[in-house]
Amino acid sequence: MEGLETLKQWVEESNNIVFFGGAGVSTESGIPDFRSVDGLYHQKYDYPPETILSHTFFMRKTSEFYKFYADKLLLEGAKPNAAHLKLAEWERMGKLKAVITQNIDGLHQMAGSKEVLELHGSVQRNNCMKCGAFYDFHTVKEKVERSGAELDAKDPDYMVPKCDKCGGTIKPDVVLYEEGLDDDVITKSVNYIANADILIIGGTSLVVYPAAGLIDYYRGKKLVLVNLSATPQDSRADLIVRGKIGEVFSQL
Ligand code: NAD
């Protein structure tokens, strides 16, 4: 595979790698991305995914939101693949400083990574919008399923998880369209990228802003892109490895 040997050598020589990734990192774990041919944007829904995953839609059509969310994003049983595992191993070896991810699936932490900056939040954390009570992934999944089994599909609360303490609606700690990113996560990400020796970008179409703009802060000369398809930033890369990220990382 072209570029693989160079990447291998760069990784061996470095102890300041930063990884920036997206949905393509988890497709080999069975979670669909947005823009690939079998991604969510090419499947049929009553509304486009960007609309469903927006703040306005969540507030106005909460039941519709949870139907999509439960079907496509609240996926149980997904396991980290070779890419997640290799990144966690590099961190343990002191080679990698941080994983910055647009993913919300929690697979990097499951693989053992500690410094994970989640730009778009996580399905693992959920809070009641009224009283703030915390709920984990499994509890929310159970509540969504129970409400789906008990209520009529036309009921406005169909599949909507409700708080045990106050009855309020539970919202995932996921950054929806129209919502802002966490300042602290952004600042840390910028710092890691600005000081990185190697920046490896993988499994992202680099079209979702402001996340994609973070790579502008990289000042080094080892910008690596590991992606199945071309991105608008390919011309800026010092090295491109075209392939499945799990397969590529298992050879590093
Ligand atoms: P995207 O769907 O826009 O792009 C995915 C990119 O990854 C594409 O360029 C595709 O060619 C590439 N890709 C797919 N499988 C790959 C593989 N095995 N190896 C290498 N490359 C692969 O994803 P994005 O850029 O992350 O932006 C989409 C938004 O969707 C993000 O904001 C993210 O929050 C969200 N999202 C997250 C998940 C998740 O948490 N797993 C899943 C879907 C969408």
Which CATH number covers residue 83? 3.40.50.1220
Are the CB atoms for 62 and 4 separated by under 8 Å?
Answer: no
Q: Which atom of ligand 1 is nearest to the CA of 212?
A: 25
Using alpha carbons, select from 127, 136, 138 the residue that is nearest to residue 163. 127
Q: Compute the distance from residue 33 Cα to the ligand 1 centre, in Å.
A: 4
Domain at 40, CATH number: 3.30.1600.10
Q: Are residues 27 and 137 in the same domain?
A: no
What is the total count of domains within the chain? 2
What mean pLDDT is reported for the chain?
Answer: 93
Q: Are residues 91 and 138 in the same domain?
A: no
Q: Are residues 144 and 242 in the same domain?
A: no
Q: How much is the pLDDT for 77?
A: 86
Q: Is residue 39 predicted with pLDDT exceeding 80?
A: no
Please, which pLDDT band fits residue 38 given cuts at 50, 70 and 90?
low
Q: Are residues 190 and 247 in the same domain?
A: yes
The two three-digit tokens of residue 16, written as one number = 């300041």
The DSSP result for 168-222, as a single string, is PBEEEEE--BTPPPPHHHHHHHHHHHHT-SEEEEES--S-STTGGGGGGG--SS-
Q: Are residues 138 and 162 in the same domain?
A: yes
Q: How much is the pLDDT for 36?
A: 65
Average pLDDT over residues 29-55: 79
Q: Are residues 25 and 37 in the same domain?
A: no
Using alpha carbons, select from 160, 138, 141, 139 the residue that is nearest to residue 150. 160
Ligand 1 lining (C-beta closer than 6 Å): 22-24, 26-28, 31, 33-36, 39, 102-105, 120, 203-205, 208, 227-229, 244-245
Using alpha carbons, select from 1, 12, 60, 21 the residue that is nearest to residue 206. 21
Last-in-domain residue among 139, 156, 174: 174
Q: Are residues 156 and 245 in the same domain?
A: no
138 is catalytic: no
Q: Are residues 190 and 228 in the same domain?
A: yes
Domain of residue 43: give its range: 32-74+125-174
Q: Which atom of ligand 1 is nearest to the CA of 31?
A: 41
112-154 per-position pLDDT tens digit = 999 999 999 999 999 999 999 999 999 999 999 999 999 999 9
198-229 per-position pLDDT tens digit = 999 999 999 888 888 999 999 999 999 999 99
Q: Compute the distance from residue 194 Cα to the ligand 1 centre, in Å.
A: 23
Largest alpha-carbon pair distance within the chain?
Answer: 59
Q: Which atom of ligand 1 is nearest to the CA of 103?
A: 40
Q: Is residue 74 predicted with pLDDT exceeding 90?
A: no
Q: Are residues 146 and 227 in the same domain?
A: no
Q: Are residues 129 and 169 in the same domain?
A: yes
pTM: 0.93
Residue to mutate, 34, 37, 52, 74, ligand 1, most ligand atoms under 8 Å from C-beta:
34
Q: Are residues 160 and 193 in the same domain?
A: no
